[in-house]
Chains A and B, each alone.
Chain A
């Protein structure tokens, strides 16, 4: 099984801050890495796929990078609507699409 580890598990930041979340895979997954945002009481929403490609409709302040085992989600200028939890997910295993433990972003 491919294990996904995120850090930090939570963070507090101010509007306008640059925020970085990291995700590490237990083995190389090339760039088969997705990022999701989840607001309280809502289903997750796809933000980024293939490690760095922005899903349609997602603001450009979100960006992703990385390859192999280490990946990063960056919010260039945090906005009030960006609070919530963020999850990485590997898609290297075509059916077993496991998630990281999540990062809760508080503003």
Chain B
């Protein structure tokens, strides 16, 4: 079964750090671009960060650039999100998602994890 399972969320004080993990199974993890997407309580989806299959290309939303770092371990089939200098506005449900080539040059996120909650509060 193709599956993504996030972990590492929790309650953290502003300014502190947290690392999220996403375990992949059931597919060739190293063949896929991966993303983190978050959703603040009662709000919409926000793309956070993406990483190419070999980590050669990485990008971040402006809201997290310089504070968050995405990485992956293809041998272990894990995706990570290191979150530093956390702010209250980072409070959200964090999903990891697989990007697939649906056809030709068209991409979409076809597999999602169940998500993990990050709460930033003093």
- Interface of A with B (CB < 8 Å)? 1, 32, 34, 36, 38, 43-46, 49-50, 53, 55, 85, 87, 89, 91, 94-102
Question: Could you tell me the distance between the alpha carbons of A101 and B45 in the complex, rounded to whole angstroms?
Answer: 7
- Interface of B with A (CB < 8 Å)? 33, 35, 37, 44-47, 50-52, 57-59, 61-62, 95, 99, 102-103, 106-110, 112-115
Question: Could you tell me the distance between the alpha carbons of A16 and B34 in the complex, rounded to whole angstroms?
Answer: 38
Do B106 and A49 have beta carbons less than 8 Å apart? Answer: yes
Per a CB cutoff under 8 Å, which of A55, A94, A99 touches B47? A99
Task: Write the chain B residue with the least CB distance to A91.
Answer: B107
B contact patch SS? strand
Do A44 and B108 have beta carbons less than 8 Å apart? Answer: no
The total of interchain contacts (Cβ-Cβ below 8 angstroms) comes to: 72
Question: Could you tell me the distance between the alpha carbons of A55 and B44 in the complex, rounded to whole angstroms?
Answer: 22
Do A46 and B108 have beta carbons less than 8 Å apart? Answer: yes
**Residue numbers in A under 8 Å from B102 (CB-CB):** 49-50, 53, 55
Question: Could you tell me the distance between the alpha carbons of A97 and B110 in the complex, rounded to whole angstroms?
Answer: 13
By Cβ-Cβ distance, the 4 closest A-B pairs, closest first, are A43-B112, A102-B44, A95-B50, A95-B59
Task: Write the chain A residue with the least CB distance to B113.
Answer: A43
